[in-house]
């Protein structure tokens, strides 16, 4: 297990329940690499805006992309953004309402993103975003044209300032509540892929490729 510590700025040092915080880089990579979408936070006219979007990782850089017209990406330029990736792993049902909780793995990354303008990095970034969402697709589909690349904004966010938080445990009730006649435990929550649905306009005779059919479900954690 790689134990390079994550940053410890005031906001990534966890305020509450700090026993749930993990501080090694390998845990950060694990949470990021297992996700499908992130929630991007930007400030627009002083107010927060939170948008779901795809992302990819290359080393210690997170990439997000969008249309050059996307307001969330324009707002993110030259100012701090926040990217959060969350895996909901379970509902924690306790004997008391107060101790109900969730099992989850989450990563929060802060930073001022850098617009990616170098053509090689832009292509590599889009590949990383593509591989995150649909591994194997990049190699079999039509590549982006110069015009398509020009219509795409890519932002690079350093993973320097990040925190990881994990809860993966049974309920934790007050001592006296363990005597109650109430069921307690964890209901796991999993994300699974369904059977691929061919495009109604698919040319006949093209089978679903193995990298799609053989893709494992997203990882999940059980206590």
CB 32, min distance to a second copy, A? 15
Between 4 and 37, CB nearer to a second copy: 37
Backbone angles phi, psi at 130, to 5 degrees: -65, -45
Tokens matching residue 99: 């101790």
CB 141, min distance to a second copy, A? 5
Between 4 and 9, CB nearer to a second copy: 9
Between 4 and 112, CB nearer to a second copy: 112
Strands of the sheet with 152-158, listed across from one edge: 56-58, 61-67, 152-158, 114-115
Between 4 and 119, CB nearer to a second copy: 119
Contact call for residues 28 and 159 (beta carbons, < 8 A): yes
The number of CA neighbours under 13 Å toward the Cβ of 20 is: 16
CB 165, min distance to a second copy, A? 9
State how far the Cα of 36 lies from the Cα of 87, in Å rounded to an integer: 9
CB 68, min distance to a second copy, A? 10
CB 144, min distance to a second copy, A? 5
SS (H, E, C) 3-27: CCECCCCCCCCCCCCHHHEECEHHH
Between 4 and 208, CB nearer to a second copy: 208
Between 21 and 171, CB nearer to a second copy: 171
Between 4 and 190, CB nearer to a second copy: 190
CB 21, min distance to a second copy, A? 13
Contact call for residues 103 and 223 (beta carbons, < 8 A): yes
State how far the Cα of 122 lies from the Cα of 58, in Å rounded to an integer: 12
CB 3, min distance to a second copy, A? 25
State how far the Cα of 26 lies from the Cα of 36, in Å rounded to an integer: 18
Q: Is the dihedral of CA 41, 10, 86, 114 positive or negative?
A: positive
Look at residues 91, 38, 68 and name the one whose alpha carbon lies nearest to residue 223: 91
């Amino acid at each position: 297990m790689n134990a390079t510590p994550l940053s410890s700025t005031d906001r990534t040092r966890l305020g509450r329940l700090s026993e749930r915080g993990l501080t090694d880089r390998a845990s950060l990579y694990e949470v990021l690499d297992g996700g499908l979408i992130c929630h991007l936070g930007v400030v627009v006219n002083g107010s927060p805006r939170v948008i779901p979007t795809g992302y990819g990782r290359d080393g210690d850089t997170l990439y997000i992309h969008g249309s050059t017209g996307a307001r969330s990406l324009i707002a993110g330029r030259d100012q701090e953004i926040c990217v959060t990736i969350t895996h909901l792993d379970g509902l924690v049902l306790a004997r008391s309402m107060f101790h109900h909780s969730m099992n989850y793995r989450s990563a929060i990354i802060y930073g001022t993103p850098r617009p990616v303008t170098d053509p090689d990095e832009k292509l590599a970034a889009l590949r990383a975003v593509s591989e995150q969402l649909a591994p194997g697709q990049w190699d079999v589909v039509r590549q982006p044209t110069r015009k398509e690349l020009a219509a795409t904004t890519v932002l690079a966010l350093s993973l320097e300032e990040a925190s990881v938080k994990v809860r993966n445990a049974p309920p934790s009730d007050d001592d006296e509540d363990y005597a109650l006649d109430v069921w307690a435990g964890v209901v796991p929550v999993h994300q699974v892929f369904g059977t691929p649905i061919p495009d109604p306009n698919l040319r006949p005779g093209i089978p679903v490729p193995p990298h799609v059919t053989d893709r494992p479900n997203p990882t999940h954690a059980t206590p």
